[in-house]
Amino acid sequence: MTLAEKVGQMVQVERVNATAQTVKEYFIGSLLSGGGSAPSDKASPEAWVDMVNEFQKGALATRLGIPMIYGIDAVHGHNNVYKATIFPHNVGLGVTRDPELVKKIGAATALEVRATGIPYAFAPCIAVCRDPRWGRCYESYSEDPKIVKMMTELIPGLQGDRPDKVPKGFPYVNGKRHVAGCAKHFVGDGGTVKGINENNTIVDDNQLYNIHMPAYWDSVDKGVATVMASYSSLNGVKMHANKAMLTDYLKGKMQFKGFIISDYQGIDKITPVPDSNYTYSIEQSINDGIDMVMVGYTSYKEYLQILTKLVKTNYIPMSRIDGAVTRILRVKFSMGLFEHPLGDYSLVKKVGCKEHRKLAKEAVRKSLVLLKNGKSGDKPLLPLPKKASKILVAGEHADNLGLQCGGWTIEWQGLNKTDLTEGTTILKAIQETVHKKTQVVYEKKPTAEFAKSGGFEYAVVVIGEQPYAETKGDNENLTIPEPGPEMIKNVCGNVKCVVILISGRPLVVEPYIDTMDAFVAAWLPGSEGQGVAEVLFGKYGFTGKLARTWFKRVDQLPMNVGDKSYDPLFPFEFGLTTKGEKEDGKEKENEKEKEKEKEKEKPKSDL
Q: How far apart are CA 515 and CA 502, in angstroms?
A: 18
Nearest to 199 by CA among 189, 187, 213: 189
| Residue among 396, 399, 470, 534 flagged as catalytic | 470
CA R_g for the chain: 25
Q: Distances from the Cα of 243 to the Cαs of 209, 238, 284, 424, 433, in angstroms?
A: 17, 10, 9, 47, 56
Q: Are 508 and 479 in contact (CB under 8 A)?
A: yes
3-state secondary structure 281-329: HHHHHHHHCCCEEEEECCCHHHHHHHHHHHHHCCCCCHHHHHHHHHHHH
| Residue among 263, 268, 474, 528 flagged as catalytic | 263
Burial class (CB in 10 A: 0-12, 13-18, 19+), 320: middle
User: In the chain, what's the furthest Cα-to-Cα distance?
Assistant: 102
Type of residue at 336: G
* 263 tagged catalytic: yes
Cβ within 8 Å of residue 312, ≥6 positions away = 3
Q: How far apart are CA 262 and CA 324, in angstroms?
A: 12
Nearest to 127 by CA among 56, 69, 84, 189: 189
Helix (H) or strand (E) holding 233: strand 233-234
Helices (H), 27-183: 45-60, 90-96, 99-114, 145-150, 154-159
Q: How far apart are CA 156 and CA 43, in angstroms?
A: 29
Q: Distances from the Cα of 301 to the Cαs of 4, 296, 328, in angstroms?
A: 12, 12, 20
Go through the chain and tell me how many residues it has.
607
Q: How far apart are CA 507 and CA 551, in angstroms?
A: 8
Helices (H), 335-425: 354-367, 401-405
Which residues are catalytic, by number?
A: 263, 470
